[in-house]
Amino acid sequence: MPSPADKTNLSDANDVGKVEEKTFVYKDNFSLTGGGTLAGFELRYEYYGQLNAQRDNAIYICHALTGDHHVAGFYNHDDEKPGWWNHVVGPGKPIDTNRFFVVSSNCLGGCRGSTGPSSEDPKSKGTSYGANFPDLSICDMIRAKRALIDHLGISTLHAVVGGSMGGMQTLQWIVEYPGFVKNAIIIAATAQHSVQTIAFNEAGRCSIRGDLGWKDGSYEKNEGPAQGLSVARMMAHITYLSDLGMEEKFGGDQRLDSSEDFEFSVQGYLDHQGKKFVDRFDANSYLKLTEALDRFNLVGEHGLANAVANVDTRTLVIAFSSDWLYTPKQNKDIADALIKAGKNASYLEIDHSHGHDSFLIDSGPFLKALGSFLQGEDTTTEQALEEDGFRKLKNRYEVKKEADFRAIDDWVAPKDKVLDLGCGRGLLLEHLREAKDVHGLGVDWELNKSISCISRKVPIYQEEILAALSKFSDNSFDWVIFSRMVESLPEPGKIIEQAIRVGHKVAVSFVNHGYWRNRWNFLFKGRRVCNEVYPHQWESSHLSNHFSISEFEDFSKRLHANGMQVNLGRKLFYRGDWVNKCSFLPNLRAGLAIYEIVKGS
């Protein structure tokens, strides 16, 4: 959509180097979803890297509304800037051109070389389509891209990746061609424009159409509605940035403009953005493309989960915290629907202050997420592991993990669907996948841990536990596992009830607070234990909700009394070492407990 990333050193050895534009010519009639037909079309495209012998290493990159096919590298040595995603695509980069054959095309309806309103209308000699260009949809753009991929002799795509409108196209790719795309990364996108977004687009279109220069769309080249297009761009540009991002760039000491042309520096910036846009973009293209975006609606009457029912693609959805154009909620809705429909889908939310445009910015966690998903390498550094609170308890934690692994591995059946709440770096689900071929989904709210899951190919939903549980359908998992965090949940009863709703069986593993050493300590000292297991003094503790085996058993009885048809199933108690089992007086003698809750009549 917006302006490319900061200028990169063109002589960078990791660059794809000098690249060339190609043109794909489709000569047949091409029917559009809106009812119109094009007598053929052209797509301007570029590629980087080598197509392998199996022709299965291609990645298609879809650009945003006002972006184009020039993703990486440069055309000439004196280019001011490289392609708009040069920091993402190249040798050794997250989208690694040493491994992948990367293709991108200017979308149908665009104005950067592909057929669009400014192209010559074959029916009229010498004049462009203008406003006569037929109504266009995101689906039409994908079908045209598919024609290019067929032309290149590629029968399956390793991945499709795109942000903003490119993310919507990526979603449309996997819906339109089930199984054709092995992996998809949908970034800062939506399955349906919000009313607010339609409203902003409409104000922009009114600005263009109200400009006398528009002439009902039949303006001459270089004589279009410059004023109207410029205002539309200014306004839209604000929606690509965040309040905070604008404040950082044009607030404080930079608030007032140093020139005499403007009072505030942001005025000069917007003026520049507007003028630059008029030079590089066609007003009719802008109208047609924003209409296609407003109309894009995979939610429809039957819901998004229904629309994605046939998807057969491993998918990652990435949102940015400060994106208020296509909000985290809208992106999460896409992941929700895929998960609801039983697909392999992950959701990450990256904390970034640059608003919608964050996907264009060179930022570590984002690049790591892309690379981990496409290449499956755990790039987690030792430092990141240190940040994991459990690292401090390394031995204890490893011991508990071992105990959980053994019990849950024993209980879970091959090919079960398993939801791991508070899954951390995804080790349990990775283990269950290797050992039992389970279909796992992890939930954790920490980005670093979630990216680790991605690198292990463990699907991850980055969210708070209760919010995540509320999204899942009844009985949609065989197992729901609380492996290490029940004591950090407020009103845990409600959350466990949700888990019972979502899963057929629930496994709860917890440190028994009724263990005799805790009682002893409290009796004689009147204070909490402070040791490896409970590492913090009162004043530096997070809030918690420790509980004992007795309390848990009483709770399960109350569940029953409240009419829930659940029973405690298998139980495992470990002594204070968390290694040796114990069965006599567990509430006093056990340090660790693992329970199975079984739903039944």
- Catalytic positions, written as ranges: 164, 323, 356
Distances from the Cα of 581 to the Cα of 155, 414, 514, 568, 572, angstroms: 55, 26, 16, 19, 7
Residue range at the interface with a copy of itself (CB under 8 A); choices 83-91, 197-205, 277-285, 461-469: 197-205
Beta carbon of residue 255, minimum distance to a copy of itself (angstroms, whole number): 7
Could you tell me if 102 and 47 are in contact, meaning their C-beta atoms sit under 8 angstroms apart? Answer: yes
Write each residue from 292 to 331 as x if it is in contact with a copy of itself (CB under 8 A), else as -, in one continuous string. --xx----------------------------x--x----
Beta carbon of residue 416, minimum distance to a copy of itself (angstroms, whole number): 26
Rule CB under 8 A: say whether 561 interacts with a copy of itself. Answer: no
- From 3, 306, 448, 550, residue interacting with a copy of itself (rule: CB under 8 A): 550
Rule CB under 8 A: say whether 134 interacts with a copy of itself. Answer: no
Distances from the Cα of 549 to the Cα of 221, 266, 572, angstroms: 78, 61, 11
Pairing state of beta strands 477-482 and 417-421?
parallel
- From 95, 241, 350, 407, residue interacting with a copy of itself (rule: CB under 8 A): 241
Beta carbon of residue 227, minimum distance to a copy of itself (angstroms, whole number): 4
Rule CB under 8 A: say whether 408 interacts with a copy of itself. Answer: no
- Residues binding a copy of itself: number (CB under 8 A): 79
Beta bridge partners of 581: 574
Nearer Cβ to a copy of itself (415/494): 494
Nearer Cβ to a copy of itself (206/579): 206
Could you tell me if 505 and 597 are in contact, meaning their C-beta atoms sit under 8 angstroms apart? Answer: yes
Nearest to 89 by CA among 489, 362, 477, 418: 362
Beta carbon of residue 328, minimum distance to a copy of itself (angstroms, whole number): 12
- From 526, 563, 584, 600, residue interacting with a copy of itself (rule: CB under 8 A): 526
Rule CB under 8 A: say whether 199 interacts with a copy of itself. Answer: yes
Write each residue from 41 to 80 as x if it is in contact with a copy of itself (CB under 8 A), else as -, in one continuous string. ----------------------------------------
- AA letter at 27: K
Beta bridge partners of 45: 22, 105
Diameter of the chain measured on Cα atoms: 97
Rule CB under 8 A: say whether 12 interacts with a copy of itself. Answer: no
Name the E strands within 448-518: 460-462, 477-482, 503-511
In the 8-state DSSP scheme, what is residue 212? G
What is the rounded distance in angstroms from the CA atom of residue 278 to the CA atom of residue 232?
Answer: 10
Residue range at the interface with a copy of itself (CB under 8 A); choices 42-50, 93-101, 192-200, 358-366: 192-200
Rule CB under 8 A: say whether 200 interacts with a copy of itself. Answer: yes
Nearer Cβ to a copy of itself (59/241): 241
Phi/psi at 58 (nearest 5 deg)? -90, 140
- From 203, 435, 467, 579, residue interacting with a copy of itself (rule: CB under 8 A): 203
Could you tell me if 522 and 528 are in contact, meaning their C-beta atoms sit under 8 angstroms apart? Answer: yes
- From 92, 210, 389, 535, residue interacting with a copy of itself (rule: CB under 8 A): 210
Tokens 């939610």 -> residue: 299
Could you tell me if 571 and 593 are in contact, meaning their C-beta atoms sit under 8 angstroms apart? Answer: yes
User: Quick one: which H or E segment has residue 501?
Assistant: helix 492-502
Beta carbon of residue 270, minimum distance to a copy of itself (angstroms, whole number): 6
Nearer Cβ to a copy of itself (374/559): 559
Site for a copy of itself in 327-386 (CB under 8 A): 327
Rule CB under 8 A: say whether 3 interacts with a copy of itself. Answer: no
**Mutual angle of helices 283-295 and 195-210, in 10-degree steps:** 160
Site for a copy of itself in 246-285 (CB under 8 A): 246-247, 249-251, 255, 263-264, 266-267, 270-271, 274
What is the rounded distance in angstroms from the CA atom of residue 412 to the CA atom of residue 431?
Answer: 12
Rule CB under 8 A: say whether 519 interacts with a copy of itself. Answer: yes
Nearer Cβ to a copy of itself (65/208): 208
Nearer Cβ to a copy of itself (394/494): 494
For the stretch 200-230, what's the b/e string if a residue is b when 16 or more beta carbons lie within 10 angstroms of its beta carbon? bbeebbebbbebeebeebebeeeebbbbbbb
Could you tell me if 408 and 545 are in contact, meaning their C-beta atoms sit under 8 angstroms apart? Answer: no
